[in-house]
Amino acid sequence: MLRFIRQRALASLISLIGLIVMVFFLSRMTGDPAALFLPVEASAEMKEQFRELHGLNDPILVQFARYVGDVVTGDLGESLRKARPALDVVLEAFTWTLWLAVITMTLVTGAAIVVGSLGAFRSGGFFDRLSSMVSLIGASVPDFWLAIVAIVIFSINFAILPTSGTGSVVHWILPIAVLFVRPFGIIVQVVRGSMVSALSSAYVKTARAKGVKSGPIIFIHALRNAMLPVITVVGDQAASLLNGAVVVETIFGFPGVGKLMIDSILQRDFNVVLAAILVTAIAIFLMNVLIDLAYALLDPRIRH
């Protein structure tokens, strides 16, 4: 198991190094950093002072070595707008996004497993057809459209839910509900397909022949063997949620890392943008390692 963990951690580390290289050189390819960071009306003298202050006149390899050293020590520069370390600003916002993702994916995974499993157990029945139709619609609905419709219905027409903020539980309902729909639809389809295959296997037929009740057959005998593809999709959807909640957070004014990135781009605060990219990528890499460990625990063959 330790060898398996080391292999997965090394693969993630290599990917992270590649990301750091890409972020650095792509940020330089966008143009003169002085022109990007400073206001449009900045004079040539101000731009030259900015380059000298931040070491932008040094050779590109020297700048890259300095950047890698800063990343390793956790120094990702300072937010130009907030006059605080960019990493602190990003971690503060990322905490909100992480809570939003954890709560949403916990609800999504539990609900999707139950609905998909019950649909597979009564394959072709009314509940199966209804849940399949609802899940397909949910997987197809754009998040931004659903967010706008939810605001119009629940915040404007009925005035029962707030449109932004995090002050109480009701402020979280709309963002979680909107982010819930798409992954729920996708995971239900995967759970159903995987469970249909598992429920038709020989060991399930044997359990039924022995008189085992439906509940243990579904959630003990079949579900464990059907979980590998489900874990894959849950991990992908969780990563997408961390990486793709930008639009939903912006629409609802949710103070997460997605909204922070949009605001920082508009405010030309690129130190914060680069820090947000790195923090989000590291979180996704760690999540992938945890998913690999879950594979290994569920199926010992993977460890070998």
Mean pLDDT computed over 145-166: 88
Indicate if the pLDDT at residue 111 is higher than 90. Answer: yes
The domain in which residue 234 lies consists of 94-267
Are residues 206 and 62 both part of a single domain?
A: no
Mean pLDDT computed over 184-213: 81
Number of structural domains, the chain?
A: 2
Domain membership of residue 299 (yes or no) is no
* Tokens matching residue 123: 């394959």
DSSP string across 83-109 = -SBHHHHHHHHHHHHHHHHHHHHHHHH
pLDDT for res 166: 80
pLDDT for res 219: 67
pLDDT for res 73: 84
What CATH number is given to the structural domain containing 253? 1.10.3720.10
pLDDT for res 153: 92
Indicate if the pLDDT at residue 118 is higher than 70. Answer: yes
SS3 235: helix
Are residues 147 and 218 both part of a single domain?
A: yes
Are residues 59 and 206 both part of a single domain?
A: no
102 against 271, higher pLDDT? 102
pLDDT for res 224: 73
pLDDT for res 302: 58
Indicate if the pLDDT at residue 303 is higher than 60. Answer: no
Are residues 213 and 125 both part of a single domain?
A: yes
Residue 130 confidence class, pLDDT cut points 50, 70, 90: very high
pLDDT for res 26: 75
Residue 30 confidence class, pLDDT cut points 50, 70, 90: low
In b/e form, how buried is each residue of 102-133, taking b as 16+ CB within 10 angstroms? eebbebbbeebbebbbbbbbeeeeeebeebbe
Q: Are 256 and 93 in contact (CB under 8 A)?
A: yes
pLDDT for res 103: 93
12 against 177, higher pLDDT? 177
Domain membership of residue 219 (yes or no) is yes
Mean pLDDT of all residues in the chain?
A: 82
In b/e form, how buried is each residue of 8-18, taking b as 16+ CB within 10 angstroms? beeebeeebee
Residue 178 confidence class, pLDDT cut points 50, 70, 90: very high
SS3 45: helix
Indicate if the pLDDT at residue 260 is higher than 70. Answer: yes
Q: pLDDT per residue over 226-251, tens digit each?
A: 777 888 888 888 888 877 677 888 88
Q: pLDDT per residue over 7-16, tens digit each?
A: 777 777 788 7
Are residues 56 and 108 both part of a single domain?
A: no
pLDDT for res 235: 84
pLDDT for res 1: 61
Indicate if the pLDDT at residue 278 is higher than 80. Answer: yes
Closest CA to 231 of 181, 166, 298: 298
Are residues 57 and 200 both part of a single domain?
A: no
Mean pLDDT computed over 32-58: 79
Cα dihedral value 173, 179, 182, 185, nearest 10: -40
265 against 1, higher pLDDT? 265
pLDDT for res 304: 56
Domain membership of residue 285 (yes or no) is no
Are residues 242 and 161 both part of a single domain?
A: yes
Domain membership of residue 272 (yes or no) is no
Residue 151 confidence class, pLDDT cut points 50, 70, 90: very high
Are residues 47 and 102 both part of a single domain?
A: no
Indicate if the pLDDT at residue 180 is higher than 90. Answer: yes
Are residues 50 and 172 both part of a single domain?
A: no
